[in-house]
């Protein structure tokens, strides 16, 4: 097998990898799961909710779908999410089990048991109460991946309040937009975190976001991590360690109704404004715990699990915090980047903690493929039992490399498809049951029903391609877009009425396995992170030099897609700077407006943009150009010379 990152014929893979008899015999998930879910879908989910979670008040009703598309699951039951992730494990005698093995980028580490984590969360909950936090309040977290981020999420959840984690790579502007949209009262942040061998500051962005004093934020609680100097606003800023020290570790978790909101997580849509995806408690936790346990074949007494996602993304919510902790897992969290201080850092961590279940993104796998197998082969990876992939399609070549080089040629690989909106995994193989097919996410999870349909909503059937829809409500589905029920209906439910439109293209093969084909809307997927073309375009045109802009996601060998921007300058700026200087300014500007993750990989300064006669930018054509393809039919262009101009810019 070659180490080339892309390759393999996506739709005509013949290889199949059935589970080994040894794996199968010890696997948690048995084929009966599928039968039970098919026989009585709602009864199946009710059993999962009862079996996996502790209910302060048992529920009697499973699903209320009387007001679609607003679902209510287990609605007359009450639970406490934090209690489910912590106290009950301690009460069951598991207090000494390690919950988190924290590995800092500089090499510091901390093991935190379930008893210790419970104590810390209780203290943090008392601290938040002292800062006026009550059920329903919105708390913004803007933090590095340190234990305090997990503690803060669980403390907010414990009080029935709502957290909204903003990824540390977003700018002050983006942070402010989220603070305003959620109308947050408290921000929890850190002085800074460690990344790529240096400290990146977080607190200054919070200061900048709050500088005009026009938000309802009344406390900023700051974890000391980076050790960098920070400015201090007396009366507003509080050190986490000073505050925590004032509070008792006694706190009794109260039950909240199952539909009590748990978190808002902003994600990019097809407009310039990010959507606040709202998730609630009982259904979300049920599906997060169910999928985590069965897909990773979690044996909590012996396994060590590691998901490399940041808590700023949905994967970090469902598969770093809520799923694993609800299941009493022992897991690793790592603050830094994979290549610091050396390119084998991840594999070293797997060796150090004897990680057995590992969950990461295809971009990372393709990056390691490029670096060569010699690096992981220096480490003992024999503890690995299950490998997971998420965030973007994994090409068969990368899938095979993952299994062979990281998994020693024996470890099942599960490709898991889901979204911020779905809350938990929807499509995946089950490692003890499914014969794995490299490159395909394969089958819906038990209890999930989906289809692939044409533009008119007609099922395409085996060997057909179309749009992915989810045909029945599921427990961890989003409950809406914060403050915008109309946008919720419009975005996901208007296209096919009673079926959820995911925004992904998909192919069903002759066996009925699902192959994901990428987004069909103006959402890009860069390294498994979602970015909106419109949002980046709006940011670029706000630059004083830019007259017009078009942004496309161009195929990229490593990151799946890359942001490519075409920019027309206002006439008075034309010729004043070199293209390279313009490009640098635009990239820096997008970094300030949205965040470093949204910076275009390439900026082309062009004279015009190709448009249809009705004035729509021809993005497909721009994508062709950005990817270096021959451009097709341009007869609908208003001015065919535009294409030539652009092509010249690209080829220069």
Residues found near ligand PRX in the complex (CB under 6 A): 267, 314-315, 390-393, 415-420, 441, 502-504, 516, 519, 525, 528, 530
Closer residue to ligand PRX (CB): 169 or 343:
169
Give the contacts of 32 (CB within 8 A, at least 6 positions apart): none
Question: Alpha helices of 305-395 — where are they, by DSSP H?
Answer: 314-316, 323-326, 345-353, 362-371, 374-377
Among 66, 152, 398, 606, residue whose Cα is nearest residue 415: 398
Shortest Å distance, C-beta 265 to ligand PRX: 9
Shortest Å distance, C-beta 285 to ligand PRX: 17
Taking a C-beta distance cutoff of 8 angstroms, is the pair 145, 333 a contact? yes
Shortest Å distance, C-beta 364 to ligand PRX: 13
Taking a C-beta distance cutoff of 8 angstroms, is the pair 258, 281 a contact? yes
Taking a C-beta distance cutoff of 8 angstroms, is the pair 171, 259 a contact? no
- List strands edge to edge, sheet with 413-416: 109-113, 98-103, 330-334, 304-307, 357-360, 386-390, 413-416
- List the structure tokens of 449: 């029903």
Closer residue to ligand PRX (CB): 77 or 393:
393
Shortest Å distance, C-beta 360 to ligand PRX: 11
Beta bridge partners of 386: 357
Closer residue to ligand PRX (CB): 137 or 392:
392
Shortest Å distance, C-beta 418 to ligand PRX: 5
Q: Rounded CA gap, 550 and 566, in Å?
A: 5
Closer residue to ligand PRX (CB): 385 or 519:
519
Among 315, 323, 331, residue whose Cα is nearest residue 292: 323
Closer residue to ligand PRX (CB): 313 or 566:
313
Shortest Å distance, C-beta 511 to ligand PRX: 17
Closer residue to ligand PRX (CB): 283 or 528:
528
Shortest Å distance, C-beta 585 to ligand PRX: 28
Shortest Å distance, C-beta 478 to ligand PRX: 10
Taking a C-beta distance cutoff of 8 angstroms, is the pair 468, 506 a contact? yes
Give the contacts of 420 (CB within 8 A, at least 6 positions apart): 265, 267, 277, 313, 314, 478, 530
Among 369, 435, 441, residue whose Cα is nearest residue 400: 369
What is the length of the chain?
652
Q: Rounded CA gap, 489 and 129, in Å?
A: 35
Shortest Å distance, C-beta 514 to ligand PRX: 9
Shortest Å distance, C-beta 29 to ligand PRX: 18
Closer residue to ligand PRX (CB): 356 or 527:
527
DSSP string over 554-587: EEETTTEEEEEEEEEEPGGGTTTS-HHHHHHHHH
Among 584, 631, 362, 641, residue whose Cα is nearest residue 565: 584
Beta bridge partners of 190: 223
Closer residue to ligand PRX (CB): 77 or 412:
412
Closer residue to ligand PRX (CB): 308 or 315:
315
- List the structure tokens of 17: 């990898």
Shortest Å distance, C-beta 233 to ligand PRX: 33
How do beta strands 138-142 and 109-113 pair?
Answer: unpaired
626-651: b or e for each residue (b if 16 or more CB lie within 10 Å)?
A: beeeebeeeeebeeeebbeebeeebe
Closer residue to ligand PRX (CB): 209 or 516:
516
Q: Rounded CA gap, 479 and 259, in Å?
A: 9
Shortest Å distance, C-beta 530 to ligand PRX: 4
Closer residue to ligand PRX (CB): 138 or 530:
530
Other CB atoms within 10 A of residue 608 CB? 16
Closer residue to ligand PRX (CB): 440 or 583:
440
Shortest Å distance, C-beta 411 to ligand PRX: 17
**Can you say how many angstroms the Cα of residue 646 is from the centroid of all Cα atoms in its chain?**
34
Long-range contacts of 490-499 (CB under 8 A, 24+ apart): 491/269, 491/270, 491/275, 492/69, 492/421, 493/68, 493/69, 495/457, 496/453, 496/457, 496/469, 497/457, 498/68, 499/451, 499/453, 499/457, 499/469, 499/470, 499/471
Shortest Å distance, C-beta 255 to ligand PRX: 29
Closer residue to ligand PRX (CB): 147 or 528:
528
**Can you say how many angstroms the Cα of residue 605 is from the centroid of all Cα atoms in its chain?**
32
Closer residue to ligand PRX (CB): 365 or 546:
365
């Amino acid at each position: 097998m070659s180490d080339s990152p892309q390759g393999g014929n996506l739709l005509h893979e013949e290889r199949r990898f059935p589970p080994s008899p040894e794996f199968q015999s010890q696997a948690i998930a048995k084929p009966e799961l599928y039968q039970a879910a098919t026989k009585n879908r709602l009864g199946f989910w009710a059993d999962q909710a009862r079996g996996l979670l502790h209910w302060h008040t048992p529920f009697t009703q499973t699903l209320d779908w009387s007001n679609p598309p607003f679902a209510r699951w287990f609605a007359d039951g009450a639970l406490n999410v934090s209690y489910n992730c912590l106290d009950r494990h301690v009460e069951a005698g598991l207090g000494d089990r390690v919950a988190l093995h924290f590995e800092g980028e500089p090499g510091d580490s901390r093991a935190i048991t379930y008893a210790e984590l419970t104590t810390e969360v209780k203290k943090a909950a008392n601290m938040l109460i002292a800062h006026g936090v009550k059920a329903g309040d919105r708390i913004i977290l803007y933090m590095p991946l340190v234990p305090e981020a997990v503690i803060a999420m669980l403390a907010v959840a414990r009080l029935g309040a709502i957290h909204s984690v903003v990824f540390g790579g977003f700018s002050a502007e983006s942070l402010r937009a989220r603070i305003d949209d959620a109308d947050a009262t408290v921000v929890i942040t850190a002085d800074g975190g460690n990344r790529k061998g240096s400290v990146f500051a977080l607190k200054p962005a919070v200061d900048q976001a709050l500088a005009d004093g026009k938000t309802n934020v009344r406390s900023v609680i700051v974890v000391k991590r980076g050790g960098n100097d920070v400015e201090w606003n007396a009366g507003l800023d509080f050190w986490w360690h000073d505050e925590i020290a004032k509070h008792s570790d006694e706190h009794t978790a109260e039950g909240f109704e199952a539909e009590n909101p748990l978190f808002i997580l902003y994600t990019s849509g097809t407009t310039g404004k990010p959507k606040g995806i709202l998730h609630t408690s009982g259904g979300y936790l049920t599906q997060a715990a169910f999928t985590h346990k069965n897909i990773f074949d979690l044996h909590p007494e012996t396994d060590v699990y590691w998901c490399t996602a940041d808590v700023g993304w949905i994967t970090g919510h469902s598969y770093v915090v809520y799923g694993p902790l609800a299941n009493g897992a022992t897991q690793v969290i790592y603050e830094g980047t994979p290549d610091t201080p050396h390119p084998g850092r991840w594999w070293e961590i797997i060796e150090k903690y004897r990680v057995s279940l590992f969950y990461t993104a295809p971009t990372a796998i393709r990056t390691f493929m490029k670096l060569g197998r010699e690096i992981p082969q220096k480490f003992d990876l024999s503890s690995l039992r299950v490998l997971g992939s998420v965030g973007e399609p994994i090409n068969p070549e990368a899938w095979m490399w993952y299994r062979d080089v990281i998994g020693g040629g024996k470890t099942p690989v599960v490709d898991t498809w889901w979204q911020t909106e779905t809350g938990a995994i929807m499509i995946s193989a089950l490692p003890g049951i499914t014969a794995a097919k490299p490159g395909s996410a394969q089958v819906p999870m038990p209890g999930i029903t989906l289809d692939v349909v044409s533009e008119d909503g007609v099922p395409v059937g085996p060997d057909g391609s179309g749009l992915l829809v989810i045909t029945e409500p599921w427990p961890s589905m989003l409950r809406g877009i914060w403050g915008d029920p109309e946008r919720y209906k419009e975005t996901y439910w208007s296209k096919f009425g009673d079926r959820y439109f995911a925004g992904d293209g998909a192919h069903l093969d002759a066996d009925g396995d699902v192959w994901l084909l990428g987004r069909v809307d103006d959402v890009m997927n860069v390294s498994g992170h979602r970015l909106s073309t419109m949002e980046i375009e709006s940011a670029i045109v706000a630059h004083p030099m830019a007259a017009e802009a078009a942004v496309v996601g161009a195929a990229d060998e490593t990151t799946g897609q890359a942001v490519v921007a075409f920019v027309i300058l206002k006439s008075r700026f034309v010729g004043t700077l070199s293209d390279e200087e313009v490009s640098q300014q635009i990239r820096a500007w997008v970094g300030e407006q949205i965040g470093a993750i949204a910076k275009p990989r390439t900026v082309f300064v062009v004279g015009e943009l190709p448009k249809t006669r009705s004035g729509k930018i021809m993005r497909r054509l721009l994508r062709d150009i950005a990817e270096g393809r021959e451009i097709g039919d341009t007869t609908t262009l208003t001015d065919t010379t535009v294409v030539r101009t652009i092509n010249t810019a690209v080829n220069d």
